[in-house]
Amino acid sequence: MNVLELKNVTKKYGEHVAVDGVCLDIEKGKVLSLLGPSGCGKTTTLRIIAGFTSHDSGIVEISGKNVGHLRPYERNVGLLFQDYALFPHLTVAQNVAYGMRYRGTPSSVIPSRIKQMLSLVRMSGMEGRYPAQLSGGQQQRVALARALATDPQIVLLDEPLSALDAKLRVELRIELKEILRSVDATTIVVTHDQEEALSLGDEVVVMQAGKIVQRGTPTQIYAAPADKFVAEFVGRSNWFHGATRDRFTGGVSSYITSEGAEIRAKSAQSEQCGRADLCIRPESIELVEEAAGAIAPDPERNVLTGVVFDVAPLGADVHVVIELPGKTRLLVIRKNIDRIPAVVPGQSVRAVFAASDVLLFSDRR
Ligand SMILES: Nc1ncnc2c1ncn2[C@@H]1O[C@H](COP(=O)(O)OP(=O)(O)OP(=O)(O)O)[C@@H](O)[C@H]1O
């Protein structure tokens, strides 16, 4: 059974439709990431579920019950919101106890529950501290303990890690995932950080302008984006615009790009596409030096010749920018451990990628 179900939920601010007919369900114990650019309606959706914002139409159900008329404290929802900081005048223990007292948890149970929650978020021994005496990461752990203390039916996390620096963010992200899994929490996490969304969510929901444009596993969203917006928003990408020239057997079509290059794409949809946007992920491209000799022709492989423009060794990855004829630039990302050819700017190379790695988006303009 779904713990949460939104049925055609819409919210307008004046003429502006912030949430536009959203339908969303989530099963018990699953973590759903809500991802999208600033202003696409993620926070408004969470606030509607929590009961802080009323929706204009549609139905919000928690465990099969319409909760549209219930106040926030009457819904058993755990919250960790950007603007829902710890109470500065309360200790760690009092902050964690706050929601429980509000919801009528028996006083006899509260101390052991505080202990359990603080141990879960690795904050045992900090009960008597005030928020100002904690680091940003510690404050977020306490806020998480407070959100989970009432054993909520749904946990809503709005940009839970955004205030932290990059390294701590990644560390806490891994912990957060483990904690949510250990308590079997049904969770929606809002983020505009794609890496966070893909790593935390069992499934990812991508929103644009108040609407859901795709829902899928992190792998589906990355490897099979529903449209150009999702492909551009999730992951890095190289883009070409082209028109079909030839069609071959096995779903392979060749496109001539605006810059005059030929790119072959293999896709179930390629038969329908006259003009199309072609997307190639930087990780799908291999670099082959000129010195490596001729590359055997293969109708399902692309070979583009260019000149290395920039090489950026970024720790585990190397980012290489290739300039193709017509000044188009192609980003190639290789793992350091691949021992890619030690290319240098100005060197001629070939960028090689499979026709099946080209994502095609039909251009209906
Ligand atoms: N109280 C309000 N009054 C008027 N407009 C609002 C209000 N709250 C949100 N909006 C508008 O609704 C749209 C969606 O806002 P929302 O905060 O849900 O976006 P978001 O996807 O969470 O963005 P961000 O990632 O920047 O937090 C935006 O255009 C915003 O300006």
Report ipTM for this prediction.
Answer: 0.95
Q: Which residue puts its alpha carbon closest to atom 5 of ligand 1? A: 13
Angstrom CA distances, 85 to 132, 161, 209, 242, 257, stand at 11, 12, 28, 50, 51
46 CA to centre of ligand 1 in angstroms: 11
Is 41 close to ligand 1, i.e. is its CB under 6 Å away? yes
Q: Answer whether 6's CB lies under 8 Å from 22's CB.
A: yes
DSSP 187-231: EEEEES-HHHHHHH-SEEEEEETTEEEEEE-HHHHHHS-SSHHHH
**Residue-averaged pLDDT of the chain:** 90
**What is the spatial distance between Cα 185 and Cα 28, in angstroms, rounded to a whole number?**
7
Question: Which residue has the CA at smallest separation from atom 28 of ligand 1?
Answer: 39
Q: How far is the CA of 41 from the centre of ligand 1 (A)?
A: 6
* pTM score, whole prediction: 0.87
Cβ atoms 128, 91 nearer than 8 A: yes
Taking alpha carbons only, the member of 337, 280, 338, 285 closest to residue 308 is: 285
Taking only the tens place, the pLDDT of each residue in 315-353 is 788 899 999 988 899 999 988 656 666 788 999 999 999
Domain residue spans of the chain: 2-233, 238-362
Reported confidence tier of residue 274, pLDDT bands at 50, 70, 90: confident
Q: Which of the listed residues 6, 13, 49 should we mutate to test ligand 1's pocket, taking the one with most ligand atoms within 8 A of CB?
A: 13
Q: What are phi and psi of 222, to 5 degrees?
A: -80, -45
pLDDT at residue 175 is higher than 90: no
Tell me the mean pLDDT in the region 179-205: 91
What is the rounded CA–CA span in Å between residue 287 and residue 334? 9
- In the block, tokens 């752990």 appear at 141
Q: With respect to CATH, is domain 2-233 assigned 3.40.50.300?
A: yes
Q: How far is the CA of 228 from the centre of ligand 1 (A)?
A: 23
- The mean-pLDDT minimum among 89-103, 265-279, 298-312, 324-338 falls in 265-279
Residue 23 confidence (pLDDT): 97
Whether the CB of 299 sits within 6 Å of ligand 1: no
pLDDT at position 142: 93
How many angstroms from the chain centroid is the CA of residue 24?
A: 16
Pocket-testing residue among 40, 52, 188, ligand 1, by greatest number of atoms within 8 A of Cβ: 40
Per-residue pLDDT for 358 more than 70?
Answer: yes
pLDDT above 70 coverage of the chain, percent: 96
Q: If you measure from the C-alpha of residue 214 to the centroid of ligand 1, how many angstroms do you get, rounded to a whole number?
A: 20
Q: Answer for the pair 50, 221: CB distance below 8 angstroms, yes or no.
A: no
**Band of pLDDT at residue 60, cut at 50, 70 and 90:** very high
How much of the chain is in helix, strand and coil states, percent to nearest 5? 30, 35, 35
Residue 271 pLDDT grade (very low, low, confident, very high; cuts 50, 70, 90): low
Task: Give the Å distance between the CA of 167 and the centre of ligand 1.
Answer: 28
Per-residue pLDDT tens over the stretch 90-147: 999 999 999 888 888 888 999 999 999 999 988 999 999 999 999 888 898 899 999 9
| pLDDT exceeds 60 at position 365 | no
Per-residue confidence band for 313, with pLDDT thresholds at 50, 70 and 90 = confident
Angle, vertex CA 124, rays to CA 120 and CA 125, nearest 5 = 170
Kind plus residue range of the DSSP H or E element containing 262:
strand 262-266
**313 - beta bridge partners?**
318
Beta-carbon contacts of 137 under 8 Å, excluding residues fewer than 6 positions away, are 164, 168, 171, 172
* CB distance 39 to ligand 1 below 6 Å: yes
User: Taking Cα atoms as reference points, which of 198, 158, 185, 202 lies closest to residue 44?
Assistant: 158
Which of the residue ranges 71-85, 213-227, 290-304 would you say has the lowest mean pLDDT?
Answer: 71-85
* CATH code, 238-362: 2.40.50.100
Q: Residue 300 above 70 pLDDT?
A: yes
Dihedral of alpha carbons 228, 230, 231, 233, sign: positive
Predicted local confidence at residue 364, as pLDDT: 63
pLDDT at 340: 62
pLDDT of residue 84: 64
Which of 17, 22, 34, 42 to probe ligand 1 with, by most ligand atoms within 8 A of CB? 42
2-233 and 238-362 agree in CATH topology:
no
Whole-number pLDDT of residue 269: 62
Ligand 1 neighbourhood includes 36 CB (under 6 angstroms): yes
3-state class of 5 per DSSP?
strand
pLDDT at 353: 96
Please measure the distance between the N-terminal and C-terminal CA atoms of the chain and give it in whole angstroms: 42
Asked if 33 and 201 count as a contact pair (C-beta separation under 8 A), the reply is: yes
**Does residue 13 line the site of ligand 1, with CB under 6 A?**
yes
Percent of the chain with pLDDT over 90: 61
Q: Which amino acid is at 175?
A: E
- Assess contact for 149 and 93: CB atoms under 8 A: no
Is the per-residue pLDDT at 268 higher than 60? yes
What does the pLDDT average to over 229-256? Answer: 87
**Which residue owns the Cα nearest ligand 1 atom 24?**
38
**What would the mean pLDDT of 284-298 be, rounded to a whole number?**
87
Distance (Å) from CA 221 to ligand 1 centroid? 24
Look at residue 253 and tell me whether its pLDDT is greater than 90.
no
CA of 189 to the centre of ligand 1 (A): 16
Taking CA atoms only, the protein residue closest to ligand 1 atom 2 is 13
